[in-house]
Amino acid sequence: MPTVAGVRSWWRKKAKEIYGKTEDFGGFLVKANSEGRPGPLDYGRTHADGANLLAGALEPYGGIVMWRSFVHDSDDTWDRQAYQDFTPLDGTFADNAIVQIKNGPIDFQVREPAHPLFGSLPRTNSMIELQVTQEYTGHSTHLCYLVPQWKEVLDFDTRKGGKDGKGGKGRKGGKDSDRSKDSGGGKDGDGGKGAGTENSTVADVVTGRVYSYSHCGFAGVLNFGDDRNWTGSHLAAANTHGYGRLAWNPELAAEDLAAEWTRMTFGNDPHVVDTVSALLLGSWHTYEDYTSPLGIGYLTHPPDGSVTGHFDPSPTTTTQFHRSNREGIGYDRTIATGDGYTELYAPAIRDAYESLADCPEELLLFLHHVPYTHRLNNGTTVLQHIYDTHFAGAARVAEMRNDWGGLRRRIDHRRFTDVHRQFGRQLTEAAKWRDTLVAYWFELSRIRDEKRSWLQAVIAPADTALLGGERNELPVQVVNATGSGLRTTVSLDVPKGWRTEDATGYVASGGDTTVQMTVVPPPAPTLATLHAHPRSGSVQVLDASLRSLARTVVVPPAARCVHALDAGPGKAPVLEDYTRLSPDSAWHEGADFGWVGNTPEATDTGLFDVVRRDYVRDSAPAVLRLKLPAGPCTAYLLTGDPHTFNRTLIVHVDGAEKARSEQLDGREFTWLRIPLDGGASGREVDLEFSAKENETWHVSACVVLTDDQG
């Protein structure tokens, strides 16, 4: 607890130890009480109590505490919790503590308003946090130059410290400081002009020109990998350069920074400078157009730690953020009818955000829920704008690749080829975003695109488990986004060794039909990605099946198995003819299987098919004993999690490690294959399940096949 003398003493000793070994140690960056992490609130204390505990330990050495304001308990309060938690504490933070505020209220989305905390803490040192790595903006695959986005935030006038705002007292007890040394940005001097300044932009706030902060500045979240170019893309390094330059001088223009970086990176050829600068400066809006126009917001698949998460489109798992339904789209954050978020801004900004007529259109769906037929200032409906931007944005990526192609022989072959290949990957991913989202909103609204027509088909592998070696009927929904009824033929793209048959059906204009596709997978357990392809003459087809990120799971019929165990709680659904493996399945004399010693816990998420929706899990090792028949056989273990990322599953047999899974993204699963042998007359074998230290293992199913069955 922050106020316990023993805790304070421990941190003082630890700070002394650190500075004894690292004289120029800067201080601590803290994430507390956010996304399940512990913090002072767990002990009935405040964020200021926690920050001041550490600040006190660091103060004798000139160290500082950067305390992140990124706190949220639920998706429903995410946009305003930081404001609600920190503004009542204004003036209570130590002089060498800084509240670190993300540029927007959610989480580095492609479009957000400036965070309402900027300018709301006149007596608390504040700094801005920008994300230089492209976690939500395409990773290193998509070119997305973020300097123009950062400039919009930095130039945003909070109206909270100037003549148009509510003003504020200068921070008491603030010390003069060299901000370029203490906080990575800002200007030297006494911290600013005070509450009477005319301007109160975010840049003015975080450089100490509005309130008399003793510490302020910039923080950047960025990754350097083991690629030769560090950032995974030759062009992504422009964001690293732009961040550093803006931290020292936030008045610099994005156009100048793009040209400056290009000259330093590729030389002074005017054609190269003009072309690369234009590619950089247009890339943010291009990415926004084919992913999240009008401030729709969070649409990427949640990763919870995966390197591939926050990358693919996943509108069906993020509806709590974009609030799409059959009537309309957007998150109502107004005072009148929504969650009241708009009230956190200065009156003039609050009134503009609150008004549907005055709200900036680029933030419309971040702040309002509107019908799909709501008309923008140019007369276009919201849904038509979404259709248009997604198609136009994806098309612009092809133009970007062509523009880069015009630099052949003006840039060295290696880098030219690398970037050209990168644009090819971006073109594929942009088409994925376009098809996934356009198909999603058409399916919800059933309002046709005024300019385009298409067919789309959706498989729901998350709802389907196929039996290996058996004839399965896989339902595929075909949706008609054309102006007339169509007879369609649907085929399945399946892996080698599978058998399938085409199906036909009639689909009314704007309607849908479900056809049953015959599919026979191989007998052995596996996972596969399936795509459905409808066709009717020359009608365009969108690959809407990309919306289902989960792969179809194939399990052998119970009759083929020595053991067919579906793991989970005792009352959860069980796959047909399978046997439940639950925490109550203890080994006993005469049993065919059961736990020996420690028994795990069990969870049923209610998501996915009957096999993947539930599992047994534990942080401690557990031993599953199986009775085997004579001869060689193979155990298959299904591991994964329908929602969050899944840790490593380690399997030992007779004391020797036989299998180890990789960490998996949420919604991803894998089968582990473990060779076993029942000997000449059959025997009992122990499978020990474990995980890495402080992690949890999962098992969703366990099947055992003799080698002639598999």
Distance CA 342, CA 313 (A): 28
Residue 487, CA distances (Å) to 453, 483, 535 in order: 15, 13, 9
Are residues 284 and 110 in contact, defined by beta-carbon separation less than 8 angstroms?
A: yes
CA 136 from centroid of its chain's CA atoms = 6
Distance CA 149, CA 138 (A): 15
Consecutive 10-residue runs of the chain (710 residues): their mean pLDDT?
80 95 94 87 94 96 96 87 96 97 95 97 98 92 97 96 47 34 35 49 96 96 84 93 97 98 97 98 98 93 58 85 95 96 96 97 98 97 98 98 97 96 96 93 95 90 85 93 96 93 96 94 92 93 66 93 96 95 96 96 91 95 97 96 81 94 81 96 96 92 85
The fold of the 454-553 domain, in CATH, is: Immunoglobulin-like (2.60.40)
Distance CA 187, CA 178 (A): 7
Q: Which of 17, 35, 256, 351 is catalytic?
A: 35
pLDDT for 464: 81
Distance CA 165, CA 159 (A): 4
Alpha helices in 36-122 (DSSP H): 47-58, 78-86
CATH number for the 556-706 domain, one of 2.60.120.260, 2.60.120.430, 2.70.98.30, 1.10.3720.10? Answer: 2.60.120.430
What's the number of CA atoms in the CB half-sphere (13 Å) around residue 136? Answer: 19
35 is catalytic: yes
Q: Residues 218, 287, 426, CA angle at the centre, nearest 5°?
A: 115
Give the CA diameter of the chain.
90
pLDDT for 192: 36
Q: Return the bridge partners of 615, or none.
A: 603
Distance CA 513, CA 532 (A): 14
What sign does the dihedral 252-258-264-268 (CA atoms) show? negative
What sign does the dihedral 101-107-109-113 (CA atoms) show? negative
Query: Which residue, chain included where needed, has tokens 């052995």?
Result: 524
List, by residue range, all CATH 2.60.40.10 domains of the chain. 454-553
403 is catalytic: no
List, by residue range, all CATH 3.20.20.80 domains of the chain. 5-266
What's the number of CA atoms in the CB half-sphere (13 Å) around residue 285? Answer: 10
Query: Which residue, chain included where needed, has tokens 């133009």?
Result: 399
Query: Which token pair is 19?
Result: 């500075």
Distance CA 115, CA 119 (A): 9
Q: Which of 79, 90, 95, 107 is catalytic?
A: 107
Query: Which token pair is 553?
Result: 């799971």
pLDDT for 251: 96
Nearest one of 482, 489, 483 to 506, comparing CA atoms = 489
Length of the chain: 710
pLDDT for 68: 97
Distance CA 43, CA 254 (A): 45
Distance CA 175, CA 564 (A): 70
CA 618 from centroid of its chain's CA atoms = 26
User: How many Å from the N-terminal Cα to the C-terminal Cα in the chain?
Assistant: 57
Q: Return the bridge partners of 473, or none.
A: 518
Full 3-state SS string of 279-320? HHHHHHHHHHHHHCHHHCCCCECCCCCCCCCCCCECHHHCHH
135 is catalytic: yes
Query: Which token pair is 159?
Result: 């109206």
Q: Which of 79, 95, 135, 354 is catalytic?
A: 135
Are residues 191 and 216 in contact, defined by beta-carbon separation less than 8 angstroms?
A: yes
CATH number for the 5-266 domain, one of 3.40.50.2300, 3.40.50.2000, 3.20.20.80, 1.10.10.10? Answer: 3.20.20.80
The fold of the 291-331+369-445 domain, in CATH, is: Alpha-d-glucuronidase, C-terminal Domain (3.90.1330)
Give the pTM: 0.84
Are residues 516 and 503 in contact, defined by beta-carbon separation less than 8 angstroms?
A: yes
Q: Return the bridge partners of 622, or none.
A: 689
Full 3-state SS string of 242-259? HHHHHHHCCCCCHHHHHH
pLDDT for 462: 64
Distance CA 155, CA 561 (A): 66
pLDDT for 415: 96
